[in-house]
Amino acid sequence: MGLYRIPPTRADIAIADIVSRYTTPRTERAAQLATFGADENLLLALAAGWWVYCRNKSPRARRNSNHIFLTAVAVSALPHLLKSIVDQRRPDRLTATGHLHGVPFSGNPYDAFPSGHAMHVGALASAATVLPKTKRNLVWAMSAGLALTRVVLLAHWASDVLAGLALGALTERLLRPFTGYGGSANGVRKSPRPIRAEGSSFEEVRPPPRS
């Protein structure tokens, strides 16, 4: 048993009630399949595989793979620690209507807070901020869908998912100073933009700052 108990909010209960009333077995099966994309074991295996693959690649690739692997390990361990301290009953243990509509049982009944899946998703979405706009938006859209599956399955209250997203993103950001992730792509400072005096054909270039 944890040291603390966190009750769901009124908004949590209202959202879970809507899901339990209007979900269908087909929707729940689809959510169960989709939510596997944020499974702890799957993401750890992928991060470890990429880390091994990048050992003989460029310094940038090695740095990025170090960060992703370390982040995956951190956001896998942190939920287990928090769930050993905090008890919160999962919404799927508090509904009969939901089970009639296909809602399955998920994990330990008192491990609702925080959502471990959402922590992985939050870390992934935060790491994606360094990607080009198109790829970043694709990752964010997929992340939103994965996080939503935890609410649809009634595995977590909505606030558990939001907390998991925030904690995952925060963990990823806190690790950046140690891994160098998100820094300059090639370690070379960009040349300063030349300053042209109005009406003159000459350009004045400021010397680069000393390292």
* pLDDT single digits (tens) 64-81: 999 999 999 999 999 999
Residue 178: per-residue pLDDT? 93
Instruction: Tell me the two tokens of residue 48.
Output: 């470890």
Question: Residue 193 — very low, low, confident or very high, per pLDDT cuts 50/70/90?
Answer: low
98 to 21, 61, 89: CA distances (angstroms): 6, 45, 15
Rounded CA separation 178/3 (Å)? 32
Beta-carbon-side half-sphere exposure of residue 137 (alpha carbons within 13 Å) = 2
**Top-confidence residue, 149 or 186:** 149
Residue 151: per-residue pLDDT? 96
Question: b vs e for 2-15, b when ≥16 Cβ sit within 10 Å of the residue's Cβ?
Answer: eeeebebeeebeeb
Rounded CA separation 156/115 (Å)? 7
Q: Read off the DSSP letter of residue 199.
A: T
Mean pLDDT of 153-179: 96
Average pLDDT, the chain: 88
Would you say residue 120 has pLDDT above 50? Answer: yes
Would you say residue 132 has pLDDT above 60? Answer: yes
pLDDT > 70 in the chain, percent: 86
Residue 31: per-residue pLDDT? 96
- Spell out the residues 6+ positions from residue 109 whose beta carbon is closer than 8 angstroms to its own: 89, 90, 93
Residue 4: per-residue pLDDT? 85
Question: Residue 102 — very low, low, confident or very high, per pLDDT cuts 50/70/90?
Answer: very high
Would you say residue 198 has pLDDT above 70? Answer: no
Would you say residue 187 has pLDDT above 50? Answer: no
Mean pLDDT of 81-110: 93
Q: What is the pTM (predicted TM-score) of this model?
A: 0.82
Instruction: Tell me the two tokens of residue 150.
Output: 């935890």
